[in-house]
Amino acid sequence: MKVAIMGSGGVGGYFGARLAQGGEEVTFIARGEHLAAIRQHGLAVSSIEGDVTVEPIRATDDPAEAGGVDAVIVAVKAWQVREAAEAIRPMVGPRTLVLPLENGVEAAGVLAEVLGEAPVLDGLCGILAWREGPGRIRHAGVSPFVRLGTRHPEQGDSARRLRDALDRAPGVSAEMPDDIQAAVWSKFLFICAMSGIGAITRAPIGVTRTLPETRSLTERLLAEIEAVARARGVALPEDAVTRALRFIDSLPAESTASMQRDIMAGRPSELDAQNGAVVRLGREAGVPTPINEMIHAALLPQERAARGDDAPG
């Protein structure tokens, strides 16, 4: 398959490199020093699943150079999805699929608003990876997986082809769940709680899951997110919160969420797409979310400052 990776950081860089290793024709959309290093030295992935360097490599900062592709994997930050959707238009033809792998539950809807419903899939991934430096990706935890699902029946054959390409890539598992919305919200359940608690405490998961006070706060976060999902008609498993806690307990003790790392570094983060989304969607559904409201409000001044919008009023 011809696959374009829109956002070649930890998530996009990892899955794109594995697809290329598996024999797919992959184009990486990147910019700045990262793009320059990729072009000069290839894309190097250090991984608990085995290291790989993709070289020679197709990489550009102009999606139009890639031309039409079979699939675009969108792996930018959640707050960059609308801009990314506009940028990838030149790559999206009548048979192209667009797969979002963002944290959150709104990326597919944003993509569909810009590109129309025809190309857009629902999707999620699991991985603990980040850009270690220009041209270098570090994968340090979680066996990488992708889950994808169709938004209308005409996508079925092409979606299965993309799933198969991902599943045969080394160091990746992929599947199409029967209920992709339940899968997306199940992932959102733990990543939003982990992001929120980590961002306000600045502590790794090994601390927040064992300290009674922060573990209790995590459980209350999870309960609020679950209540919003169910009010919106999402058929989460009955033991969704238990599963989320089990996953949190299984992570390496030093693990941190990407939103937490961005906030700690003073960068713009996915606060609005995670805890902010719980508050916003909860209000729409008539579900109170006081813990998420507190976390969102506590972090909002720093978020506004990171975006250059810290003027009073």
Torsions phi, psi for 179 (to 5 deg): -125, 95
Over the stretch 50-93, which tens digit does the pLDDT of each residue have?
Answer: 999 999 899 999 999 999 999 999 999 999 999 999 999 999 99
CA–CA distance, 166 with 171 (Å, rounded to integer): 9
pLDDT at 183: 96
Give SS3 for 160.
Answer: helix
Angle (deg, nearest 10), helices 275-285 and 180-201: 120
pLDDT at 115: 97
pLDDT at 310: 59
Q: C-alpha dihedral over 132, 134, 137, 140, to 10 degrees?
A: -10
Over the stretch 79-135, which tens digit does the pLDDT of each residue have?
Answer: 999 999 999 999 999 999 999 999 999 999 999 999 999 999 999 999 989 999 999
Over the stretch 234-277, which tens digit does the pLDDT of each residue have?
Answer: 999 999 999 999 999 999 899 999 899 999 999 999 999 999 99
Give SS3 for 145.
Answer: strand
Lowest mean pLDDT among 151-160, 284-293, 304-313: 304-313
143 has pLDDT over 80:
yes
pLDDT at 117: 96
141 has pLDDT over 80:
no
Over the stretch 29-62, which tens digit does the pLDDT of each residue have?
Answer: 999 999 999 999 999 999 999 999 999 899 999 9
Are 163 and 175 in contact, with CB atoms under 8 Å apart? yes
312 has pLDDT over 50:
no
CA–CA distance, 227 with 236 (Å, rounded to integer): 10
Over the stretch 145-200, which tens digit does the pLDDT of each residue have?
Answer: 999 999 999 999 999 999 999 999 999 999 999 999 999 999 999 999 999 999 99
313 has pLDDT over 60:
no
| Residue (of 142, 128, 261) closest to 198 by Cα position | 261
CA–CA distance, 258 with 194 (Å, rounded to integer): 10
142 has pLDDT over 90:
no
Both tokens of 174, joined, read: 């992929």
CA–CA distance, 145 with 138 (Å, rounded to integer): 16
